[in-house]
Structure 1
Amino acid sequence: MAQMTEASETPATGRRQKGALVYRQSIFTRLTHWTWVICLFFLLLSGLQIWNAHPALYIGQQSGFEFDNEILRIGAENTPDGPRGFTTIFGNKFDTTGVLGMSGPEAQPSFIGFPGWATIPSTRDLATGRVVHFFFGWIFVGALAVWLIASLANGHLWRDVILKPRDLRQLPKDIWDHARFRFHHGRTYSPLQRLSYFGVFFVLFPLIILTGLTMSPGMNAAWPWLLDIFGGRQTARTIHFIVMVLLVLFFVVHIAMVVLAGPINELRSMITGWYRTSPGAETEETRHD
């Protein structure tokens, strides 16, 4: 592991010790990371544009007409107090006027699932939304393939992402440390980071790709087994939506952890590759390798 050690102060000087600068993120990790950031932004907003064409989710092969398999619906309705937006989840209806179902200025509201500011394009344009979604979807898949090949070649996958028995043993302590905002800056990821990234790379990313393919009639003809795996096109659409929500939650937590752990150090590692470790981290991690 490349390392650039800076002079650190001793406790006798009364000044805080600095850890070493280590080359933590390869060029492939950094390029694919920022590619995913761009792709996921456009995929989310164009996906909401597509979803607005039919703002409801079902379980099964088809949407319900003579049967009820709906689990989520966003819409608007007339009430004694005028039109109102609503969101129904598992039969429980909530008034979401101004956010979901009905939004915009009171004099000229927009009756649409997600508001225009949250979609690409901002106006109703399903065709353009689909073009943008598929374009960035294939870039997203290509970046994942590049990351996987490079991570296998340079050892990043085994060293930083794959969970090992010692990570599982250290996981409760690491969760407790994160809960108290006590962050350990090492040359490799912490057990909680490994668990999170493993879940994203090997659960959420494959799920959102495969369920997206399952919704394609062309892929249904080429790979009909996808419909069997996910229990129908509507179930695949529901899983696709849920995984999108989980990825948004991961992004929010990820940004919060970057800010709390030291944004300059974290951003430097994803721009230049160099990361400052905690004092003594190199010695401690070498002892555990």
Structure 2
Amino acid sequence: MDAAVHDRSPQVEQAPSKGPLVYRQSRWTRLTHWIWAFTLFFMLLSGLQIFNARPQLYIGQESGFSYDNTVFQIGAMNTENGPRGFTRIFGHTFDTTGVLGWSGPPGQERARAFPSWATIPSYYDLGTARVVHFFFAWVLSATLLVWLVAGLLNGHIARDLWPRMKDFRRLPGDIAAHLRLKFHHAREYNALQKLAYGGVLFILLPLVIVTGLAMSPSVDSLLPWLNEVLGGRQTARTIHFTVMVLLVLFFIVHMLMILAAGPINELRSIVTGWYRTDPPGSDGERSP
């Protein structure tokens, strides 16, 4: 009878063990991460204010009424129902009243490409916006250059960011796992992270800096070939704006991945450097 009682006793499942904490992010990585986040925030909002002064993008060296090279435009127009905001992309027009082109508090709407809450300053002030934008652009450029030199010297780029053949072999599996919201928590970055971070650090950020320099008359006088390589000053401005959009999209996806993968663990990593990995032998453990 005692045996029967023991056979019917409930089985207590043990809680899954936590994986070890590993030191994933160095002080320098964490510092530059927050500097870039801070500078890009001010560059974005001040850049939108600068864009409001000329809310059109062109392809080529010049622009004006005699040219037909506009590829993007935000504006306002009068209609039978009153002023309406619009956004025109490659000749296709979309009504964006209330957000782009025509926005503001009820009864105080005005023609404005990007709304006041999305720009620095919130009121129209091109001079202040340019000062803010250029200041943080130089901070971004200097920090990125120092990070690049330090990353090459201390091996961070080769060790943590440079993709290897095994990363490309893992890429289909990583994509499938991310689509299923199944994440691996390991010391090393996975293939998608390496490609995403590498794309931002080695392509998008340098490109936004180079196109910004190409729009400067002083830099143009020193390096006239830079403007020509990029297809003209107006093309450089269009590329500059496009890269900004890509950086915003990266930020949105980045934040969604942090929330999906475990925000406490991810934030602890970028604040303190310590990261909780998967338990040894678990499904999340990566094979070499």
Which category describes the TM-score, using the shorter chain as reference length?
A: over 0.9
Aligned to 1:132: 132
TM-score normalised according to structure 1 size: 0.92
Q: CA deviation at 1:239?
A: 0.4
Q: CA deviation at 1:189?
A: 0.3
Q: CA deviation at 1:156?
A: 1.5
CA 1:146–1:281 in 2, change beyond 3 Å: closer, same or farther?
farther
C-alpha RMSD over aligned residues: 1.6
> 1:182-236: per-residue Cα shift (whole Å, max 9, x none)?
1001101000100101111111011100000000001101111111211000000
Aligned to 2:144: 144
Q: Contact 2:177–2:183 (CA<8 Å) still a contact in 1?
A: yes
Q: CA deviation at 1:146?
A: 2.3
Aligned to 1:27: 27
Q: Contact 1:19–1:281 (CA<8 Å) still a contact in 2?
A: no
Deviates further, 46-55 or 97-106? 97-106
Q: Contact 2:184–2:285 (CA<8 Å) still a contact in 1?
A: no
> 1:73-123: per-residue Cα shift (whole Å, max 9, x none)?
111111111111111111111111101110013422121100111000000
TM-score normalised according to structure 2 size: 0.92
Q: Contact 1:64–1:70 (CA<8 Å) still a contact in 2?
A: no
Aligned to 1:227: 227
Distance 1:72 1:47 in 2: 16
The aligned runs of 1:202-213 (5 Å cut-off) are: 202-213=202-213
Aligned to 2:176: 176
Distance 1:281 1:201 in 2: 33
Q: Segments of 4+ in structure 1 off by > 3 A?
A: 281-285
Distance 1:14 1:92 in 2: 59
Amino acid in structure 2 at the alignment position of 1:257: M
Q: CA deviation at 1:179?
A: 0.5
Amino acid in structure 2 at the alignment position of 1:65: F
Distance 2:91 2:55 in 1: 15
Q: CA deviation at 1:143?
A: 1.4
Deviates further, 29-38 or 273-282? 273-282
Query: Which secondary structure state, in structure 2, belongs to the residue aligned with residue 102 of structure 1?
Result: strand
Does 1:257 pair with 2:244?
Answer: no
Distance 1:281 1:96 in 2: 52
Aligned to 2:62: 62
Distance 1:138 1:85 in 2: 34
Aligned to 2:14: 14
Deviates further, 135-144 or 52-61? 135-144
Q: CA deviation at 1:144?
A: 0.8
Amino acid in structure 2 at the alignment position of 1:82: G
Distance 2:185 2:71 in 1: 43
Q: CA deviation at 1:131?
A: 0.2
Aligned to 1:40: 40
Aligned to 1:6: none
Distance 2:43 2:177 in 1: 34
Q: Contact 1:28–1:146 (CA<8 Å) still a contact in 2?
A: no
Distance 1:206 1:89 in 2: 26
Distance 1:135 1:107 in 2: 36
Q: CA deviation at 1:280?
A: 2.1
Query: Which secondary structure state, in structure 1, belongs to the residue aligned with residue 275 of structure 2?
Result: strand
Distance 1:83 1:123 in 2: 20
Aligned to 1:113: 113
Deviates further, 105-114 or 124-133? 105-114
> Tell me, which stretches of 5 or more residues in structure 2 are unaligned?
1-11
Amino acid in structure 2 at the alignment position of 1:131: V
What is the number of residues matched between the two proteins? 276
Aligned to 1:198: 198
Distance 1:106 1:22 in 2: 53
Query: Which secondary structure state, in structure 2, belongs to the residue aligned with residue 149 of structure 1?
Result: helix
Q: CA deviation at 1:64?
A: 3.7
Distance 1:96 1:259 in 2: 30
Amino acid in structure 1 at the alignment position of 2:149: I
Query: Which secondary structure state, in structure 1, belongs to the residue aligned with residue 103 of structure 2?
Result: coil
Aligned to 1:5: none
Q: CA deviation at 1:281?
A: 7.5
